[in-house]
């Protein structure tokens, strides 16, 4: 799912695959490029296997942001129940800062506070730190839309909800047709809508593209 510089949102592509790996993502990204998607400024995803490697091959100039909501879920799964609310409140402060410098300071303070109790969690965060705060490089009006994968989760939820009444799909082709219909319907619904904040900074966003 993509958002254009003018703020219009659309499902760009989808695929049916048995698993997530670098080959699947590379094929999908190459397909998107062959269909005319020549330049991407920012990719946003969870920690899917192989995505960054595939991006380096297909859109080497694109920036990459790790979904902070998925990062928070991963942290929750690795800490004691009694600590979850406090550690989540601390982590949420990272994406509420006025600028990147303050966000880096907040993130490092988070490391210092929780490293003794959850060294493995902090070590994993440090490994992906370059992908955590990329959204601060963009105008503040759109930052709430580009630090999580809520946009694509919205489409995924539509597909899941529509598919729920169906016991099963008789073939992969029928599933492919079903998802295609949902994608076209989704695009029709959002055709004229401008995603929150994007209308205010359209000129700035368009300047990023050749």
Pair (50, 20) in one structural domain: yes
Pair (62, 10) in one structural domain: yes
Pair (45, 79) in one structural domain: no
Domain range for 169 is 2-66+162-196
- Residue 88 in domain: yes
For 68, the enclosing helix (H) or strand (E) is helix 68-76
For 78-92, 104-118, 121-135, 145-159, which range has the lowest pLDDT when averaged over its residues? Answer: 145-159
Pair (28, 58) in one structural domain: yes
Residues sharing a CB contact under 8 Å with residue 20, sequence separation 6 or more, in sequence order: 48, 49, 50
Q: Does pLDDT of 58 surpass 80?
A: yes
Residue 138: Cβ-neighbour burial (10 angstroms; 0-12, 13-18, 19+):
buried
Pair (59, 85) in one structural domain: no
Pair (7, 42) in one structural domain: yes
Pair (59, 81) in one structural domain: no
**Residue range 61-84: mean pLDDT, rounded:** 95
Total number of domains in the chain: 2
The whole-angstrom separation of Cα 67 and Cα 92 is 12
Pair (49, 77) in one structural domain: no
What does pTM read for this prediction? 0.90
- Residue 123 in domain: yes
Q: What do you get for the CA distance between the two ends of the chain, in Å? A: 21
Pair (108, 77) in one structural domain: yes
pLDDT band at 29 (very low <50, low <70, confident <90, very high): very high
Q: Does pLDDT of 210 surpass 80?
A: no
Pair (99, 116) in one structural domain: yes
Q: Does pLDDT of 62 surpass 80?
A: yes
Residue-wise pLDDT for 120-179, tens only, equals 999 999 999 999 999 999 999 999 999 999 989 989 999 999 988 887 899 999 999 999
- Residue 140 in domain: no
Q: Does pLDDT of 106 surpass 90?
A: yes
């Amino acid at each position: 799912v993509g958002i254009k510089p003018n703020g219009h949102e659309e499902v760009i592509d989808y695929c049916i695959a048995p698993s997530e790996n670098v080959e699947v993502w590379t094929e999908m990204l190459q397909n998107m490029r062959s269909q005319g998607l020549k330049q991407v400024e920012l990719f946003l995803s969870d920690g899917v296997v192989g995505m960054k490697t595939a991006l380096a091959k297909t859109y080497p100039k694109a920036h990459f942001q790790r979904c902070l909501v998925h990062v928070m879920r991963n942290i929750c799964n690795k800490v004691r129940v009694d600590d979850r609310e406090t550690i989540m409140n601390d982590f949420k402060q990272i994406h509420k800062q006025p600028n990147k410098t303050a966000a880096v300071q907040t993130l490092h303070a988070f490391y210092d506070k929780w490293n003794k109790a959850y060294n493995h969690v902090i070590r994993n965060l440090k490994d992906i730190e370059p992908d955590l705060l990329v959204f601060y490089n963009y105008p503040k009006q759109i930052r709430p839309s580009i630090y999580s994968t809520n946009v694509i989760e919205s489409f995924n939820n539509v597909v899941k909800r529509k598919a729920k009444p169906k016991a099963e799909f008789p073939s992969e082709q029928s599933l492919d047709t079903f998802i295609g219909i949902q994608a076209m319907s989704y695009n029709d619904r959002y055709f004229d809508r401008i995603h929150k904040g994007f209308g205010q900074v359209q000129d700035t966003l368009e300047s990023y593209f050749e």
